[in-house]
């Protein structure tokens, strides 16, 4: 049984409407996830502030002093040498 021409037109328009709505929902969800609203990973949210440079030698001296590998006098002497 064949459908009249106007019914085919209505079915095609309805199908196109459903596809358009689905595409709009998909694009909206993608945009919200990229913005971070839905917990996404927006590029501007993943990049944190640049860390300040760490003075590795002074950090090593601090760790050695914390582990009692060097005395307080040795620590102070090394710290002064490294900070100048």
Residue 61 lies in a domain: yes
User: Containing domain of residue 80, as a range?
Assistant: 54-84
Q: 20 versus 1: which is more confidently predicted?
A: 20
For the chain, the domain total comes to 2
Q: Which residue has the higher pLDDT, 56 or 4?
A: 56
Whether residue 82 lies inside any domain: the answer is yes
| Banded model confidence at residue 33, pLDDT cuts 50, 70, 90 | confident
If asked whether residues 37 and 59 sit together in one domain, one would say no
Q: Are residues 37 and 58 in the same domain?
A: no
**Integer Cα distance of 31 and 45 in angstroms:** 14
Mean pLDDT of 25-48: 71
**Residue count (the chain):** 84
Q: Identify whether 66 is part of a domain.
A: yes
Report the pLDDT value the prediction gives residue 26, as an integer from 0 to 100: 94
pLDDT band at 35 (very low <50, low <70, confident <90, very high): confident
Domain identity same for 36 and 58: no
| Structural domain contains residue 1 | no
User: Are 58 and 36 in the same domain?
Assistant: no
Alpha helices in 1-84 (DSSP H): 5-35, 43-46, 56-66, 72-83
Q: In the prediction, which pLDDT does 56 show?
A: 85
């Amino acid at each position: 049984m064949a459908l009249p021409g106007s019914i085919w037109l209505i079915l095609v328009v309805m199908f196109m409407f459903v596809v358009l709505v689905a595409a709009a929902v998909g694009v909206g969800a993608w945009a919200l996830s990229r913005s971070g609203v839905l917990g996404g990973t927006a590029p501007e949210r993943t990049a944190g502030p640049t860390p300040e440079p760490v003075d590795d030698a002074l950090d090593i001296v601090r760790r050695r002093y914390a582990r009692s590998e060097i005395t307080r006098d040795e620590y102070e002497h090394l710290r002064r040498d490294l900070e100048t």
